[in-house]
Amino acid sequence: MLDVTRTEIEREVKRALPACGDLTTCHPLIKGHGHQSFVLETSSKANLLLKIALRTDQLGKMRSLRQVLELAAGHHIPAPKLLYFSEGTSSFAGRPWLIQEFLTGQDGEEAIAGMSELQRMSFFHDFGKAVSRLHTVNVGYFSEDLACSRRELTWASVVESRLERLKANHLQARLLPRQSIESARQAIVSDVCAISPDVRPSLVHRDLYLPNTLAAAGRFQCLLDFEHARSSDALSDFVKLKMWVFDIAPDSESAFCSGYGSNPLITEQGRIRYSLALGLELLSGLVYWKKTGQVEMLADYQRRFGHWLAQTVAHRVV
């Protein structure tokens, strides 16, 4: 990772946000992923988060993140405010960067351990309410990001395009037998045919789990880290919610769905859409975990994929 100096940071912050005054403290955010991140405090008492892309070729991803954060603000979705965006300057080796407000608190995973039962239920209710508001945002098309990816008018065309990419990735990665890849493809295509063509685009987060929420004073505050957000089927957000929230936090699903306004997983169409989204996530994740060398996550996804494939094949036989 490239070195970033305090002098560079102070120069760019003063240029971008002169009303914030001088930089008083600056320290790297260890939990930051996908960016070089720094928590900043200024003489005006403003708390800021600086996110710098890891490479100059991530401009498209940063533009998409900017669009998502602007949409979130425009639709009153609880999320940190975007304060400044740069496509790159002489600082930070020309990499794009942005500044958000930095909100204090604990991530949801840490916070709920110290909450009362009533606080927990309130937290999950408000979490569901925030995601429901996110899913009401319809940009009019489906896309893998909001800046430079191809725009699709139907969910089926998005799935077909993604399946082709995943098939090519898996043939190269050699993680699964060819028959398993083909069986997964057929199962997902079958689900596409069974889904209503009326599935509408929704702004989705795509990484909803407790560490990507913020809590303060025993209450839900906001959603964090929209780097993977895109315009997709709302049910795709329920994949990680079920894996890493509902299945591990007792009673979270009922409280969350109360805030969300419904439980889409209990309808027949919802179950089909969820199964399709789960299959895509597992196929994608298998390649990612292998590429990044995360052995435990790879093993977890391999187990989940085997279970999903067996269930979908059995369902099709019945």
Domains of the chain: 6-101 (3.30.200.20), 106-317 (3.90.1200.10)
pLDDT at 2: 78
| Residue 281 in tokens | 């996530």
* pTM for the whole structure: 0.95
Average pLDDT, the chain: 95
Higher pLDDT, 2 or 193: 193
Rounded distance, CA 223 to CA 241, Å?
13
pLDDT at 200: 95
Average the pLDDT over 237-245 and give the result: 98
pLDDT at 46: 95
pLDDT at residue 317 tops 60 = no
Rounded distance, CA 128 to CA 120, Å?
12
pLDDT at residue 82 tops 90 = yes
Give how far the C-alpha of residue 274 lies from the chain's centroid of Cα atoms, to the nearest Å. Answer: 16
pLDDT at 32: 63
